[in-house]
Amino acid sequence: MLVVLEMNYIFLGDLKASKPTQSTTFMDMRLPPEFSHHLYNLLVYLIKQKLKNSHSDVSAQDIDAAIEFLLFFLGDAPCHVIHGTMLNEVMEKAGSLVGDILCAIQKLLPSTIIKDDASEINLCSIQIFEKAENLKALLEEYYKSLTFIPSQFPKVGGLSFLDSLLRKLNEISISERGLGFMMKPHIVLLERELASLTSIFKDVVKVHHEDVILKDLQRRTINLAYEAEVAIDCILSRYNALLHLFWSLPTILKEIKNISVEVKEKWSDNLALKPCSMVEPSKRQPIQHSDLMYDEEIVGFHNDMKRIIQHLIQGANELDVVPIVCMGGQGKTTCARKVYNSDAIVSRFDVRAWCIISRTYNRRELLQEIFSQVIGSKDKGDKDDILADELRKSLMKKRYLIVLDDMWDCMTWDNLRLCFPDGGNRSRILVTTRLEKVGEHVKRHTDLYFLPFLTPDESSKLLQKKVFQREDCPPKLHDVSQEVAKRCKGLPLVIILVAGIIKRKKMEASWWHEVKNSLLSYLGESEGYGLSTMKLSYDNLPDHLRPCLLYMGMFPEDARIPVSKLISLWIAEGFL
């Protein structure tokens, strides 16, 4: 009670003002002794008060997230690492944030809640969320100035250790509260990168023992994986937790991403040089959505992605559908994938699921696909209606994001929409489609988002990047490359297909002109662009590789095809 009285005195001006933006108590006064300890005790008290008057709306959830972060921050004894003016600045921000939380919880008490206060409480929660993010950014900037010192623990276990760490990361990634939830943005990205690398390294062991560079990249990956586990364990045990959350873990993740780029590039080169090598499928498949195309850098759409992210994060508290509409090959799936994997989205939603619809689909398979991603395990073979009800119950009271990619008809939405409950917590569904009528049918509060074509400059940049990779386009080819890019009509898929044709003789200007002239006769209208360019790609393949491309028609539309399995099938057919 003494703590409460003392803190009530400190926050008295804020309570009278009743507006978070006026929380300036700490800017013009000297902080009292044991200030961080008092803040910590007040937060514990506020949690108890809030639990007595439980609220599950989005405003209360934002406040919960801010309290959890502050408890984590204050419990790590930041004064042991942060000193002087920086310490005072950080503690002022923390104190101001606690003051805002105190004001907000006062408004949430039954004795003070009236209908007119709902919008004000919602505004308070948004400002609390923004202040918490600002405090995190300040801490992150500070910890980046420190030196990262690797641990001295012995590193043994090889690829088996990566399997063990992946299981651990998967368990942490499904956390909905506490330190696990706080690490979630880093954990999800780390799991995705390590899953993809582990799959490749297992194939390397089977067919490329002599590749010294890949072996060195594998060694570096395992070392970084050990460092990641040390950092995660320190965070969970609250030992220098802030240092590891804001510096060690992001630094390790950045290094692993760099290695991932090198490994994928080297592995692709080896497959091209040794197409007849039998690549046995790895026993452990990578986590879903870790395919190479999903990690690829894209050109253009950056402003579009920002707008789509805003639609997903902001807006009404009710469940909303964000429809992305554009023609085939224009980049809607690539754009949606980048949004889906962005840090802002990963950290915002409790659960996410990605489901490809395609022209022909099976309702049960769609439900199973979404259910397995939401729960983390397969269903028990229940009937469709039971499975749909289980999915709905699993999503209840969770802030979720479901992506329904490539929807072709309105009936698909009608078959699935009852599985997605409206918990009033800003859950979102992102739908990509080629058909405007489908977008109109699924939309609720947000209007259709029509993805634009690439500009001439963006088209040229993408073409040159695909052809020359990390090299610059030679000046003598600059003009003709722009002319070729212009012929692609701003369609990313067409540009990528054309780049694949040009790469064979990329330094020959005459070849560029030949491809440009061929595009004039091959490219038809709108939806025919992609198909016509694929025909051009087929016509430019060597005779012995044409059956390999045609064999792809054996697989269902939008099916995931493991490279190792495809090569094995080609060899069995006698194509290679």
pLDDT at residue 360 in the model: 76
Give me the amino acid identity at 144.
K
Mean pLDDT in residue range 238-262: 84
- Average pLDDT, integer, range 150-164: 68
Q: What is the pLDDT of residues 192-201, one digit of tens each?
A: 899 888 888 8
Give me the pLDDT at residue 175, please.
65
What is the rounded average pLDDT for all residues in the chain? 75
Q: Does residue 23 contact residue 100 with C-beta atoms inside 8 Å?
A: yes
The predicted pLDDT at position 1 comes to 38
Residue 219 binned pLDDT confidence (cut-offs 50, 70, 90): confident
Mean pLDDT (whole number) for 152-175: 74
442 pLDDT above the threshold of 90:
yes
Answer whether residue 79 shows pLDDT above 60.
Answer: no
Tell me the C-alpha distance between 280 and 296, whole Å: 25
What average pLDDT does this structure show over 372-382?
A: 76
Partners of residue 321 on adjacent β-strands: 429
Tell me what pLDDT residue 31 has.
46
pLDDT of 87 > 50? The answer is yes
pLDDT at 352 over 90: yes
What residues have CB less than 8 Å from 152, skipping those under 6 apart? none
Contact 497, 532 (CB under 8 A): no
- pLDDT: is 146 or 439 the higher one? 439
Q: What is the pLDDT of residue 404?
A: 94
> What mean pLDDT do residues 13-28 have?
40
- Average pLDDT rounded to a whole number, residues 339-356: 91
Q: Cite the beta strand spans of 394-494 per DSSP E.
A: 400-407, 428-433, 449-450
The pLDDT, as a whole number, for residue 283 is 36
Question: What pLDDT shows up at residue 324?
Answer: 94
pLDDT (mean) for 474-484: 90
Tokens of 295: 């990690």
**pLDDT (tens digit per residue) in 399-417:** 999 999 989 889 989 989 8
Residue 397 confidence (pLDDT) above 80: yes
pLDDT of residue 136: 74
Residue 106: is its pLDDT beyond 80? no
220-224, 485-489, 539-543, range with the lowest pLDDT: 539-543
Confidence check: pLDDT of 290 > 60: no
Q: Is residue 178 a contact partner of residue 65, using CB atoms and an 8 Å limit?
A: no
SS3 377: coil
28-32, 83-87, 179-183: segment of lowest average pLDDT: 28-32
Helices then strands, each counted (H, E), the chain: 26, 5
- Lowest-confidence segment of 133-147, 331-345, 433-447, 553-567 by average pLDDT: 133-147
Angle 118-143/84-108 helices, nearest 10 degrees? 160
Highest mean pLDDT, choosing among 49-53, 104-108, 378-382, 446-450: 446-450
Helix axes 332-340, 302-313, angle to 10 degrees: 50
Interval 510-543: pLDDT, tens = 888 888 887 765 444 445 555 666 666 676 677 6
CA distance 58 to 104: 13
Per-residue pLDDT at 327 exceeds 70: yes
Question: What is the separation, in whole angstroms, between the first and last Cα of the chain?
Answer: 79
Beta strands across the sheet bearing 400-407: 351-356, 400-407, 428-433, 320-325, 449-450
**CA distances (Å), 46 to each of 6, 26, 99, 100, 414, in order?**
14, 20, 11, 12, 44
Give 427 or 186, the one with higher predicted confidence: 427
**Whole-angstrom distance, CA of residue 126 vs CA of residue 120:** 10
Domains with residue ranges and CATH for the chain? 2-143 (no CATH), 159-291 (no CATH), 296-450 (3.40.50.300), 456-559 (no CATH)
Closest CA to 49 of 86, 4, 5, 99: 4
What's the confidence (pLDDT) of residue 81? 53
pLDDT score at 82: 55
Average the pLDDT over 445-460 and give the result: 90
Out of 31-45, 279-293, 330-344, 476-490, pick the least confident.
279-293
For residue 571, pLDDT over 90 is answered with no
pLDDT at 117: 59
